[in-house]
Amino acid sequence: MGILFGRDKKDSNAPGGVGIGHSPDMMPRKKLLVEKPVDEFVGMLSSKAPVPGGGGAAALCGALGAALGGMVANLTIGKQKYADSEEELNSLKVATYRIQKDLLDLAQKDADAFEPLITAYRMPKGSEAEKDQRGRIIEMRTKDAAEVPIEMMRKCAEAIGVMDELVSKGSRMAMSDAACGAVLAAAGMKSAWLNVIVNTSALKDRDYSDRLESEGRELLEKYLPFAEEICGRVEALLLKK
């Protein structure tokens, strides 16, 4: 099975013809999480391995949603019927690639943030000095871990907004794909939210926690109904007699 996320060659549909993977002439290195074949990634999700987990899955959901938007744009661009919207469609396509790449990067960042946090919990706590140092580092690493899923939520919000535009301006034959993109981005957002609060609930810095939680709730309240409205609009059009 081929690589699902990264590419070792140029993608002619990507902006500027540049792939969203990594240069093949790089020195040998450990394969990034998002460069793994899909069956291996899913197998890791179902294993006892600590990463990927809910955060990586959330980012993947959002990236898949954005990718569907890119497909809709690519299917529409070049068709005479949509020529008047071509410039905007090209901009939307670029946005889908950017959001997709950002979310895949966040899947890796989520995995990268886990090991320092676990290491902090393993620090010695025999003396009061050790307890204080351990507590400070756990707090710092937990904040680092919380920042990743809140950024996922922001990117999923962007993806939902782009899907709304693509439903309106993209090919009617592909509007269901744009709606699926909105649903996947919404699922990614809600999943990322759970990863925000699993971290903020462990923090002593309540001002920091309240700030992240407030932003997360605002995103949920605005964009989950927005994604549902997009889906409902497409359903009504498809089922219209």
Domain count, the chain: 1
Coil, strand or helix: which one is 2? coil
Q: What is the pLDDT of residue 184?
A: 98
Would you say residue 70 lies in a domain?
yes
187-196 burial, b at 16+ Cβ within 10 Å, e below that, comes to bbbbbbbebb
The DSSP-derived string for 85-135 is GHHHHHHHHHHHHHHHHHHHHHHHHHHHHHHHHHHHHTS--SSHHHHHHHH
Domain that residue 167 falls in: 55-118+146-239
211 is a domain residue: yes
Q: Could you tell me if residue 131 is inside a domain?
A: no
In a domain, 8, yes or no: no
Provide the token pair at 170: 């993209």
pLDDT of res. 116 = 87
- pLDDT value of position 45: 80
Q: Report the pLDDT value the prediction gives residue 5, as an integer from 0 to 100.
A: 44
Residue 35 lies in a domain: no
* CATH code where residue 198 lies: 1.20.120.680
- 77 with 174: CB under 8 angstroms? no
Asked if residue 174 belongs to a domain, the reply is: yes
The dihedral through the CA atoms of 204, 210, 211, 212 has a sign that is positive
Mean pLDDT by 10 residues, the chain (241 residues): 40 44 51 77 82 89 97 94 91 96 94 87 88 91 95 98 95 94 98 96 95 98 97 92 54
Residue at 106 is within a domain: yes
